[in-house]
A and B are shown apart, each in its own frame.
Chain A
Amino acid sequence: MFGPLSTIPRRAICLMLVAACAVSLGACKKSGGEAPAKGGEAAEFVAGSNATVFTFALSADPQTLDPAKMSGSPEGRIAFNLFEGLLMPGPTTEGLSKPEELVVPGVAESYEISEDGTVYTFKLRENAKWSNGELVVAEDFVRSWKRVLTPNFPGDYAQILWVIKGGEAYAKGSDDWDSVGVKAIDAHTLEVTLEHPTPYFPELVAFYTFFPTPAAAIEEHGDAWTRPGNIVTNGPYKLTSYKEQQEMMLDINEHYWDQENVALKRARVRIISDINAVVNAYRTGELHWSGAGLPVAQITGLLAHPDYFKEPMLGTYYYRVNVSDANSPLANPKVRQALALSIDRESLIDETLNGLYTKAESYVPPGMPGYETKTTTSYNVQKARELLSEAGFAEGKGFPRVSLLYNTDENHKLVAESVQDMWKRNLGLDVELVNKEWKTYLQDVSSVQYDIARAGWIGDYNDPMTFLDMFVTDNGNNNTGWSHAEYDQLIASAQAESDTQKRIEMLQEAEKILMEEGPVIPIYYYTNNMLVSRFVEGFKQHNRDIHLLKYLKLPGLAQ
Chain B
Amino acid sequence: MSRFIIQRLLSSMVVIVIIITMSLWITRQAPSNPCLKEREANTCVCVKEHALDRPVFPLHVGSPLQEMKGCEFWQPASSMSVGPVTLIGLSDWGNTQFAIYMKTLMQGSLGKSMVTERTVLESLKSGLPYTVHLGTQALLLAMLIGIPAGLYAGLRQNTASDYSVMTVAMLGVSVPSFVLGPLLIMLFSLELGWFRAVGWESWSDSVLPTVTLGLYYAAYIARLTRGGMLEVIRKDYIRTARAKGLTEKLVVYRHALKGALLPVVSYLGPAFAALLTGSVVVEEIFNLPGVGTHFVRSALNRDYNMVLGTIILYSSLLVVLNLVVDILYTLLDPRVSYDK
Contacts and interface: CB of A to CB of B under 8 A. Distances in A.
Interface in A95-146: none
Contacts of A17: 164, 167-168
Contact of B197 (A9, A24, A277, A477): A277
Interface string A278-312: 10110110100000000000000000000000000
Contacts of B289: 243-246
Nearest to A20: B168
Given A155-B42, A223-B79, A245-B126, A280 B60 contact: no
A2 B32 contact: no
Contacts of A223: 78-79, 117
A479 B32 CA distance: 16
B36 A273 contact: no
Interface string B133-169: 0000000000000000000100010011100110110
A284 B190 contact: yes
Contacts of A273: 284, 287, 293
A447 B65 CA distance: 10
A63 B161 contact: no
Interface stretch (A85-93, A378-386, A389-397, A435-443): A435-443
Contacts of B183: 24, 27
A155 B77 CA distance: 9
A274 B285 contact: yes
A318 to B, nearest CB: 14
A307 B116 CA distance: 33
A159 interface: yes
A439 B42 contact: no
A244 B42 CA distance: 26
Interface string B102-129: 0000000000000111100011001100
Nearest to A287: B198
B40 A63 contact: no
B197 A64 contact: no
Interface string A457-478: 0000000000000000001110
B45 interface: yes
Nearest to A460: B39
A17 B284 CA distance: 30
Interface string B61-103: 1111001000000001111000000000000000000000000
B31 A439 contact: yes
Contacts of A155: 42
Contact of B37 (A27, A156, A276): A156
Interface in A1-54: 1-3, 5-6, 9-10, 13-14, 17, 20, 24, 27, 30-31, 50
Contacts of A448: 62
Given A154-B77, A277-B286, A447 B60 contact: yes
Contacts of A9: 152, 161
A341 B168 CA distance: 57
| Interface bracket on A | 35 or more
Nearest to A245: B289
Given A159-B42, A245-B126, A246-B289, A272 B116 contact: no
A244 B123 contact: yes
B161 to A, nearest CB: 5
B113 to A, nearest CB: 9
Interface string A61-75: 101101001010000
B199 interface: yes
B36 A443 contact: yes
Given A243-B126, A281-B198, A440-B32, A10 B164 contact: yes
Nearest to A23: B187
B13 interface: no
B116 A280 contact: no
Nearest to B159: A6
A27 B116 contact: no
Interface string B170-204: 00000000000011011101110100111110000
Contacts of A375: none
A152 interface: yes
A284 B63 contact: no
Contacts of B38: 442
Contacts of A153: 42, 77
A449 interface: yes
B23 interface: no
B302 interface: yes
A376 interface: no
Contact of A226 (B36, B42, B117): B117
A13 B164 contact: yes
A442 B191 CA distance: 41
Contacts of B156: 5-6
Contacts of B161: 6, 9-10, 13
Contacts of A156: 37, 39, 41-43
A63 B116 contact: yes
A207 B163 CA distance: 66
Interface string A491-502: 000000000000
Nearest to B62: A447
A354 interface: no
Nearest to B61: A447
B243 interface: no
Contacts of A226: 117
Interface-centre pick from B33, B39, B191 (highest chain A CB count, 10 A): B39
B13 to A, nearest CB: 30
Contacts of B116: 61, 63-64
A154 B42 contact: yes
A437 B299 CA distance: 11
Contacts of A71: 37, 39, 41
A277 B37 contact: no
A50 B195 CA distance: 12
A270 interface: yes
Contact of A27 (B41, B45, B62, B186): B186
A446 interface: yes
A471 to B, nearest CB: 13
A515 interface: no
A16 to B, nearest CB: 8
A475 B152 CA distance: 71
A65 to B, nearest CB: 8
29 contacts: A6-B159, A10-B164, A14-B164, A17-B167, A27-B186, A27-B187, A63-B116, A152-B77, A153-B77, A154-B76, A154-B77, A156-B37, A156-B42, A159-B40, A246-B199, A270-B199, A277-B198, A278-B198, A280-B198, A281-B198, A284-B190, A284-B197, A286-B197, A438-B300, A439-B31, A443-B36, A446-B62, A446-B64, A476-B40
Interface of B: 31-33, 36-43, 45, 60-64, 67, 76-79, 115-118, 122-123, 126-127, 152, 156, 159-161, 164-165, 167-168, 182-183, 185-187, 189-191, 193, 196-200, 284-287, 289, 293, 300-302
Given A245-B126, A439-B302, 5 more contacts: A27-B191, A152-B42, A280-B185, A442-B36, A475-B40
Q: Which 9 residue pairs spanning A and B have beta carbons closest together?
A: A476-B40, A447-B62, A245-B289, A280-B197, A154-B77, A439-B32, A156-B41, A443-B32, A154-B78
Interface of A: 1-3, 5-6, 9-10, 13-14, 17, 20, 24, 27, 30-31, 50, 61, 63-64, 66, 69, 71, 152-159, 223-224, 226, 243-246, 270, 272-274, 276-278, 280-281, 283-284, 286, 437-440, 442-443, 446-449, 475-477, 479
